[in-house]
Structure 1
């Protein structure tokens, strides 16, 4: 029988953050689906409506939290999947820093779009 292996150290910081972001994602995804698929149906979604929603502080904050937690959860998951596949040494460092930069760029661009949709210019 194969031995169980996980790159997540039970009780470690990355392990804990993966679980916390999963819980946050369940809540924000439920909010997203409820609001944009049940309250407002797809045919009713418009650019102007999106701008109006993004100008509400609660909605804006929820969407930014959704962006940051989804990005972290995804990047952390990919990194740990790569570690589980056995990468080490220089490849592991390249993956770590490459995914970190990609995640930060994604968050930065997402926040730029969110600010633009909310009508906030820097």
Structure 2
């Protein structure tokens, strides 16, 4: 029988954060679908409406946390998928840096957009 391999150290920080962000993403995605697909329908979504939602501090904070969780979850997942496929040495270090920088840039750009929507 094949042995199961994972680059995650069970109980490690990245392992734990991957699970915490997954739970947070499920909850916030449910909120997103409820608010933007059942309460408001696609033709009703406007820039002004988005700006209005982002002007509510709890919505703004929730969306920034959602962005942070999604960015970490995605970058960490891609990195671990590469490691699980056997990437080692210099390519592994390069992947870590490229994904880390891409994650930071994605988060910063997302916060910039959120601030514009908030009216800052």
TM-score (norm 2): 0.98
TM superposition shift of 1:83: 0.1
The aligned residue for residue 107 of structure 2 is: 107
Distance 1:67 1:79 in 2: 18
Within 5 A, what are the aligned runs for 1:65-76? 65-76=65-76
Partners in 2 of 1:43 and 1:23 — Cα distance?
A: 30
Superposition misfits of 4+ residues, deviation over 4 angstroms: none
Measure how far apart 1:3 and its partner are: 1.4
**Pairs aligned (count):** 120
Deviation, 1:76, is 0.2
Cα distance in structure 1, aligned partners of 2:61 and 2:32: 13
Aligned pair 1:84/2:84, yes or no?
Answer: yes
Give the Cα–Cα distance (whole angstroms) in 2 for the partners of residues 78 and 71 of structure 1.
11
- TM superposition shift of 1:43: 1.1
* 1:1-122 equivalences in 2 (<5 Å): 1-120=1-120
Deviation of 1:37 after TM superposition, in Å, equals 0.5
Q: Flag structure 1 segments of 5+ consecutive residues without an equivalent.
A: none
Task: Provide the aligned C-alpha RMSD in A.
Answer: 0.6
1:9-39 Cα offsets, whole Å, 9 max, x none, are 1101110000000011011111111100011
CA distance in 1, matches of 2:113, 2:43: 22
Gaps of 5+ in 2: none
Structure 2 distance, partners of 1:56, 1:79, is 35
